Amino acid sequence: MSFVILIGVGAFMLMLPFAHNGELSFIDAIFTATSATCVTGLIVKDTATDFTPFGHAIILTLIQIGGLGYMTAVTFFALMRRKKLGYRDRLILKESLNHPGMSGIFRFLKIVFASIIIIEVTGAIILSLRFWNDMPMGDAIWFGFFHSISAFNNAGFSLFSTNLMDYRRDLTINLTIPFLIILGGLGYLVLLELYNYRKQSLLRLSTHTKIVLWTTGFLILSSMAIILSLEWTNPKSLGAMDTYEKILSAWFASVNYRTAGFNTVDFSTFTDSDLFFGTIYMVIGGSPGGTAGGIKTTAFALAIIGVWYTLRGENNPHIFRRSLSAYQINKAYAIIFVASFYILVSTVVLSQSEHLPFVRTLFETCSAFATVGVSTGNGGVLSYSALFSDLGKFNIILLMLMGRIGVFAFTIVLVGKAMQSRIKYAEGKVII
Residue 319 bridge partners (DSSP): 322
DSSP type of residue 357: -
Is residue 424 a part of any domain in this protein?
no
Is residue 207 a part of any domain in this protein?
yes
Is residue 429 a part of any domain in this protein?
no
How confident is the model at residue 188, as a pLDDT?
80
Residue in 160, 146, 64 with CA at minimum distance from that of residue 113: 64
Number of domains in the chain: 1
CB-side exposure of 225: number of CA atoms within 13 Å?
6
User: What average pLDDT score do residues 300-329 get?
Assistant: 89
SS3 403: helix
Residue in 220, 356, 380, 373 with CA at minimum distance from that of residue 291: 373
Is residue 428 a part of any domain in this protein?
no
CA distance 107 to 112: 9
Domain containing 63 equals: 2-415
Q: What are phi and psi of 233, to 5 degrees?
A: -105, 5
State yes or no: pLDDT of 79 exceeds 60: no
- Tell me the Ramachandran region of residue 234: left when phi exceeds 0, alpha when psi lies from -120 to 50, beta otherwise: beta
CA of 287: how far to CAs of 208, 253, 370, in Å? Answer: 10, 18, 12
Alpha carbon 201 to chain centroid distance? 30
Is residue 432 a part of any domain in this protein?
no
Is residue 244 a part of any domain in this protein?
yes
Give 169-228 as a 3 state SS string.
CCHHHHHHHHHHHHHHHHCHHHHHHHHHHHCCCCCCCCHHHHHHHHHHHHHHHHHHHHHH
Is residue 41 a part of any domain in this protein?
yes
| Amino acid letter, residue 8 | G
State yes or no: pLDDT of 15 exceeds 80: yes
SS3 342: helix
Instruction: Place 102 in a pLDDT band, splitting at 50, 70 and 90.
Output: low
> What element of type H or E holds 69?
none
For residue range 342-394, list pLDDT tens digits in order. Answer: 999 999 999 999 999 999 999 999 999 998 989 998 888 889 999 999 999 99
Is residue 174 a part of any domain in this protein?
yes
Higher pLDDT, 278 or 111: 278
